[in-house]
Each structure stands twice: as structure tokens, then as C-alpha cells.
Structure 1
Amino acid sequence: MRSWVKQAELDAGTRSDRLTSDERAELARLRAENRRLQAASTRYAP
């Protein structure tokens, strides 16, 4: 329950010590894209 309250506070902008839900989603998306690009670069590298 405590973590849910902290996340709600982050999303509402009353806290700034951690990532918001949107920032977490973007970070996850960027990490996945980075893994995909790294795998592609090793596949096509000489």
C-alpha cells in the first residue's frame, strides 16, 4: 500500500525523488529499443 501511495504522489507531482509512471514507461520502452538495436548491430557488424 505504501508504494502505491508514493507512486500516486509522484504521478500527481507532489514528489520528485523517483520516476513517474510515464517516465518509467518511457524508460522501459527506451531500454527495449536499445536492446533491439544492439542485437541488430551485432547481427550486421562485420
Structure 2
Amino acid sequence: ALEARIPIGRMAQPGEIAAFASWLVGPENTYMSGSNLVIDGGLVRV
């Protein structure tokens, strides 16, 4: 299963993705541009 390959050991919860999206478009994020952000629990490792 896919979850076995994810280092965190589980799929993301909808609230985790929503919290990130909220931060991304919110007032706390004032100096970020041109970034590729991956939310995958560590599945893609460098």
C-alpha cells in the first residue's frame, strides 16, 4: 500500500492540507514567492 512507503506512515488528514493552504494565502506568509512545496509526508526524499 502507498501508506507503507510514506515515512510518516499515513496519508495526510484533510485538516492538515487545509491548514497549510490557509497559511499559504494568509497574512503570515508575506515574503514567499516562486517555491515548490510538497506535502507528501516525506514520500519524495532528496
Into which bin does the TM-score normalised by the smaller protein fall? Answer: 0.3 to 0.5
Q: Which has the larger radius of gyration?
A: 1
Name the structure with the higher helix share: 1
Q: Give the alignment's TM-score, normalised by structure 1.
A: 0.35
